[in-house]
Amino acid sequence: MRNRLHLAALATCAAALATCTNNPYPDEDASKKVVYNTFVEAPKTLDPAVAYTTSAHAITGNIYDTLLEYHFLKRPYTLIPGIATEVPEPEPRTDGRVAYPFTLRPDLLYQDDPAFERGGKGRRTRGIVAADVAFELMRIADPAVNSPVIEPFSNLVGFREFSERLTERRKNEPGFAELPVPVQYERVGPIEGVRVLGPLELEILLANPYPQILYWFAMPFTTPVPWEAIEHYDGEEGRGHFADHPVGSGPFRLVQYDKQFRMVLEANPNWYGVRHPEWRAPGATYPDEGEPEDRQAGRLDPAVVGRPLPFLERIESRREKESIPRFNKFIQGYYDASGVIKESFDSVIENDRLSPTMKDRGVRLERSVAPSVYYMGFNMEDRVVGAAAGERGRRLRQAMSTAVDSKEWTRLFLNGRGVPAHSPLPPGIFGYESDYRNPFRTVDLDEARRLLKEAGYPGGIDPDTGKPLRLTFDSYQTTAQGLLQNQYFVDAWREIGLDVRIEASSYNQFQQKVRNGAYQIFSWGWVADYPDPENFLFLLTSEMARSRSGGPNTANFSNARYDQLFEKMKARENDAERLAMIREMLAILETERPWIELFHPEDYALYHGWLRNVKPAGMAFPTLKYRDLDPALREERRREWNRPVTWPAYALLAAGIAIVLPGVRTFYRERQ
Amino acid sequence: MLAYVARRLAYGVLTVFGVLFFLFVLFFTVTDPDDIARRALGEKALPEVIQQWKVNHGYDRPLWPWQDFDDNMLFEHYRRMLSFDFGRSDTDDSLITERIRKGAGPSLALTVPLFTLGLVVGITLSLLVAFFRETYIDSAGVFLCVLAMSVSILLYIVGAQYLIAKMLRWFPISGFDPNPEVIFRFLALPIVVGLMNGFGSDVRFYRTVFVEETGRDYVRTARAKGCGEGRIMMRHVLQNGMIPILTRVVLAIPFLFTGALLLEAFFGIPGLGSLTVDAIQGNDFSTLRTMVYIGSLLFILGQILTDVSYSLADPRVRLE
């Protein structure tokens, strides 16, 4: 009997070992077109009027359809019609205003949602109308929504006035603030520059020429939003908040949203691309043209060209806070795409190319320079480093700029993943010229020392104190890694004799210092909202100065000629005259040096061979509807790569028995 | 015993009041509600939006009763905590009660089997080494226990993820899925790590208890009467060694609900431990104070349960 029990126990152990698997997914999903992604932190909000982070747009961009969108393959980025029938042409008016007429496609439906019961019993969806776009624009203007993009939409005629009327009535009219939001908007009246001309016709009227407004209609901020969803998801009676319950009309819909754990998108059967493939709408059909490299990369495969979208059934995003387990699961084939983590960089990339091991696994590397810039800035209102110091301050900034080697910095801290920046404009943006070399961004310590001498600080010595000139570098980087990264710059300045002290504080304290103007040098970054030089060069206009308007010009740079050129440049198409203006603006920045431009980050993304139609977008615009995968190949590879190694378990068991058994025998022998 | 329990409960209430006051001072006198709001809403938030957020979260009141006796944050803090109305998270406005409800399942899915297996493994191994006391099995056991106790749990986690999950491919490296088909795969590795981390101290402690018991007169008497060694260990020694074991065990039971902080955080299990770690990292004060408050309640409950279980396990112990 006892022997039988032992045998049964051993058999159970053996069976348990035989069924061991590291596959984190149910077996039934193996043959489905499900893409597995990861996220570190869930977005704070999925409200399209508010969500502004890349991680949020990765979700909202696929749930909410936009009037316009970007061509998947063409570079430079090109706008194509989304749920609008065409990209509108500007219609200048005699009073200097500019109108953009939009027409929505007919028979567009929202995803099914219980919120639509508000419009009629048993209703699960309804058609999209132009008024839904106007409603969303009112939400952006509503101060209570806290949209971060109020500024660009202030170009709409009557936008600010709507906001003021709403605030006024909420403040002064008893009971008004308690009314449902759509009712409040209705009572306040529309935004003057957003005119609903018919069920599907909408006209946008701008007070001044602002061609970049079209890019905003390719972002989820301007998506049609059903008033029923805003009214329904008010957080009362267990209904949750609209920020967690997106109700859109895009190619996917959110079916599971657990911020701690998992987000699941599923193909939306109500999407116009699914219901009307015969339209062959540009945003609902795989493109048939792109760049020459797209053909080489298989992105213009005749098998997919012209096919209706989307190809995927589901997208599962699982929370992975730790980078190493996340990367290991990619290597095991359980995630379809990954970035390159610092810890594994050398085993993945060899001589700037994919390592043979990775190539053998069928992994592809896609590199792209993000449309963003990282920089250090000087507070131009500071009496030592700023404009008030006149030529002395200018020379000091030039000297400090010439001493900083950002190429070496990216090599040390980012495995070289960054293009040294010579101006605020990154590659791929109109006005970027690859042969342009900023003399003050070309490292030359002797030149830096000479400039410092001209500034009146020979050898870095401040004549007032007889000691090295002491400056402060304010940073919100408080981690050991962050401090080390900043120390690199401080050491570079020490080489030319300056005594720069890092003052690291929490992000909030740092923000407080910025608000109070109590800073000299800082570091920051900017990621483009849309691919236009205006979206970078506005960061240094007087109007955007932090001290004046709380805008993003933290350097508080103010130059009349620069502002004048900016106003002209932003309203022009990409032509030679615009390029000339940009060149002049960059020349001003080159001399004045409110920034030390550091680098434009380069993204390295890895994809398994079974994932198809992948093209790094740089900006956060949705591309999931174009992706496809081969589940059979994936399953085959996963099985091949993940066979459990069971012999150590048996060896361990045998070793345990070998150790214990003689002891037991000896014990009983001695007892007897 | 009832009088004793009532007295302990009264002490517990006082302790809870003290903990709540300490929490209030810790969270609200060192952090400005404006900063909390700005963190949640972003730097560009308008003053009226910040004000509305503070009203929604109850942070718009004066701090102390002497500033406004009828409407102040201290009394509101007590009211909310004592009525289990925890409000909304500072970071994403979600209901904290809902987050706790969602997190309790994954936490219990990890901690209950870990606790049960830990108890079974700990007692079995300690009985084994006590049975083979003063042999090389005992010495090897002591060596292994001390070794296990000396290693940090972080090393176990990283080592197990590398060796068992990555190299041997027995289980997923991390993650969680409540689907019954796959849940075991995700829980196996954290349970193995939890057992490795806990067995050293458990076995050492239980062994000491059992070895002490085996030297007692009743064991000698049982042996003299011809009782087998196995029966002595299982029927007599185990039963009499239960009191000190209960101290450890009962105290730990309430904390099964709060999850295992490090295991959940590193293995990506969306339980209450992970929620607490996220709250710390995300400066989510409202969630953090709730978790600290629940932790203190469970600790007091554990203390009372331990005392009661003493008297149930040993008739000589009377609670007066």
A383-401: per-residue pLDDT in tens? 999 999 999 999 999 999 9
In this prediction, residue A108 carries a pLDDT of 96
Residue B75 is encoded by which pair of tokens?
């009394």
| Residue in B closest to A146 by C-alpha | B45
CB pairs under 8 A between A and B: 135
Q: Which of A163, A156, A164, A160 is nearest to A207 (CA)?
A: A156
- Give residue A670's pLDDT: 66
Nearest to A603 by CA among A349, A351, A365, A368: A368
Strands A314-319 and A34-39: parallel
Best residue of B52, B90, B132, B174 to probe chain A, by most A CBs closer than 10 Å: B174
Residue A671: its pLDDT value, please? 63
The CA–CA distances, whole Å, from B120 to A141, B142, B234 equal 62, 18, 13
Cis peptide before A310 (omega within 30 of 0): yes
Span A345-363, pLDDT tens digits = 888 998 888 999 999 999 9
Q: Do A235 and B93 touch (CB under 8 A)?
A: yes
Please state which of the ranges A66-70, A83-87, A655-659 shows the lowest mean pLDDT: A655-659
Of A224-233, A289-298, A617-626, B245-254, the range with the highest mean pLDDT is A224-233
Q: Which of B273, B198, B207 is nearest to B238 (CA)?
A: B207
CB contact under 8 Å between B266 and A322, yes or no, is yes
The mean pLDDT of chain A is 91
> Three-class SS of residue A316?
strand
The answer to whether the CB of B281 falls within 8 A of the CB of B218 is no
Cα gap A145→B127, rounded to integer Å: 64
- CA–CA separation, A363 and A586 (whole Å): 40
Output the pLDDT for position B199. 86
What mean pLDDT do residues A624-640 have?
Answer: 95
Mutate to test the interface with A, among B31, B127, B168 (most CBs of A within 10 A): B168
**Residue A17 pLDDT class (50, 70, 90 cuts):** low
Check CB contact under 8 Å for B270 and A21.
no
Measured CA angle at A515 (ends A511, A521), to 5 deg: 70
Verify whether the Cβ–Cβ distance B49 to A644 is below 8 Å.
no
Does A663 sit within 8 Å of B132, measured CB to CB? yes
Cβ-contact B110, B259 below 8 angstroms: yes
Q: What is the pLDDT of residue A301?
A: 92
Q: Is beta strand A98-103 parallel, antiparallel or unpaired with respect to A201-206?
A: antiparallel
A159 vs A193: CA distance, rounded Å: 7
Q: Report the distance separating Cα A310 and Cα A80, nearest Å.
A: 17
Instruction: Compute the distance between CA of residue A645 and CA of residue A658 in angstroms, rounded to an integer.
Output: 22
User: Quick one: pLDDT band at residue A92, thresholds 50, 70, 90?
Assistant: very high
Q: What ipTM was reported for this prediction?
A: 0.83
User: What is the number of other CB atoms lying within 10 angstroms of the CB of residue B21?
Assistant: 13
Euclidean distance between CA atoms A534 and A122, whole angstroms: 48
Sort residue A176 into left (φ over 0), alpha (ψ -120 to 50) or beta. alpha
* Highest mean pLDDT out of A53-57, A314-318, A365-369: A314-318
Above 90 in pLDDT, residue A20?
Answer: no
Report how far residue A301's alpha carbon sits from residue A597's, in angstroms, rounded to the nearest whole number: 40
Q: Provide, rounded to the nearest whole percent, the portion of chain A with pLDDT above 90.
A: 70
Considering only CB atoms, A143 lies closest to which of B49, B106, B165, namely B49
CA distances A46 to A129, A241, A526, B265, Å, are: 22, 10, 22, 25
Q: Are strands A461-462 and A467-468 parallel, antiparallel or unpaired?
A: antiparallel
Q: What are phi and psi of A525, to 5 degrees?
A: -145, 165
Inter-chain touch B93–A241, beta carbons under 8 Å = yes
Residue with the bigger pLDDT between A664 and A428: it is: A428
SS (H, E, C) A322-360: CHHHHHHHHHCCCCCEEECCHHHHHHHEECCEECHHHHH
pLDDT in tens, A442-501: 999 999 999 999 999 999 999 999 999 999 999 888 788 888 999 999 999 999 999 999
Query: Chain A: residue nearest B168 by CA?
Result: A645
Confidence of residue A160 (pLDDT cuts 50, 70, 90): very high
Mean pLDDT for A201-228 is: 95
> Contact A259/B41, CB-based, under 8 Å?
no
User: What is the rounded CA–CA span in Å between residue A526 and residue A505?
Assistant: 21
- Using alpha carbons, list the distances in angstroms from residue A282 to A20, A122, A626, B57, B214: 47, 33, 12, 46, 83
Q: Nearest CB to B270: which of A144, A258, A507? A: A258
**A419-428, A535-544, B157-166, B237-246 — which is least confidently predicted?**
B237-246
A22 contacts in chain B (CB < 8 Å): 165, 169-173, 185
- Percentage of residues in chain A having pLDDT higher than 70: 96
> Block means of pLDDT (10 residues each) for chain B, length 320 residues?
82 90 84 78 72 82 85 88 88 87 92 91 86 82 89 91 92 90 90 90 88 85 83 81 78 75 89 89 87 89 82 70
pLDDT confidence band for A13 (50 / 70 / 90): low
Question: Count of CB atoms within 10 A of residue A269's CB?
Answer: 11
For A569-627, write each residue's pLDDT tens digit: 998 888 999 999 999 999 999 999 999 999 999 989 999 999 999 998 777 788 999 99
Contact across the interface for A645 and B181, Cβ inside 8 Å: no
Query: Could you tell me which residues come within 8 angstroms of residue B118 by beta carbon, excluding any fewer than 6 positions away?
Result: B194, B195, B198, B199, B202
pLDDT band of residue A3 (cuts 50, 70, 90) is: low
Burial label for B18, CB within 10 Å (0-12, 13-18, 19+), is exposed
Model confidence at A279, pLDDT cuts 50, 70, 90, reads very high
Quick one: average pLDDT of A230-247?
Answer: 89
**Residue A9 pLDDT greater than 80, yes or no:** no
| Residue of A661, A621, A428 lying closest to B132 (CA atoms) | A661
| Of the candidate ranges A10-14, A80-84, A160-164, A251-255, the one whose mean pLDDT is the lowest | A10-14
Please, which residues have CB within 8 angstroms of residue A572's CB and are 6 or more apart in sequence? A211, A578, A581
A194 — pLDDT class (breaks 50, 70, 90): very high
DSSP A88: P
**Which has more confidence, A334 or B300?**
A334
| Tens of pLDDT, residues A132-144 | 999 999 999 998 8
What is residue A280's predicted lDDT score, i.e. its pLDDT? 94
> Looking at CA atoms only, how far is residue B199 from chain A in angstroms?
17
Instruction: Taking residues A432-440, report their average pLDDT.
Output: 94
CA R_g for chain B: 24
Predicted confidence band of residue A16 (pLDDT cuts 50, 70, 90) = low
CB B128 within 8 A of CB B206: no
Q: List the single residue in B40, B91, B182 with the smallest CB-CB distance to A24.
A: B182
Looking at residue A19, what is its pLDDT?
56
pLDDT, position B320: 64
Residues A90 and A53: their CA atoms lie apart, in Å, by 29
Chain B interface, best mutation among A667, A668, A670, A672, by max B CB count within 10 A = A667
- Partner-chain contact B171 A261, CB within 8 Å: no
CB contact under 8 A, B229 and A20: no
The three-point CA angle A646-A650-A656 to 5° equals 145
